[in-house]
Amino acid sequence: MAKIFHVLIEQDEDGVYVGKVSELQGCLTQGSSLDELMKNIREAIELCLEVELKEKIHISEDQIKFIGVQEIEI
């Protein structure tokens, strides 16, 4: 059964895209384009899941749930 993950994407000062998966601790990567970032994040997710399985780490979907992104002006 396929799982859905949420990728938070930012662009740094050098124009590099940085992606972080909120549901997987420490799962992040970067790419010079959005296409490259998405290819890299897919690989990163697979590796994070592999490590979780190997080390018997299980984070339930109830523990971490992506809610959304909010913008605030001050």
Which sequence spans correspond to the domains of the chain? 7-54
For residue 61, the 8-state DSSP code is T
CB atoms near residue 1 (< 10 Å)? 2
pTM, entire model? 0.77
Instruction: Name the more confident of 57 and 9.
Output: 9
- Output the pLDDT for position 34: 95
CA distance 60 to 73: 34
Fold that domain 7-54 belongs to in CATH: Double Stranded RNA Binding Domain (3.30.160)
pLDDT digits (tens, 9 = 90+) for 5-52: 889 999 999 999 999 998 888 899 999 999 999 999 999 999 999 988
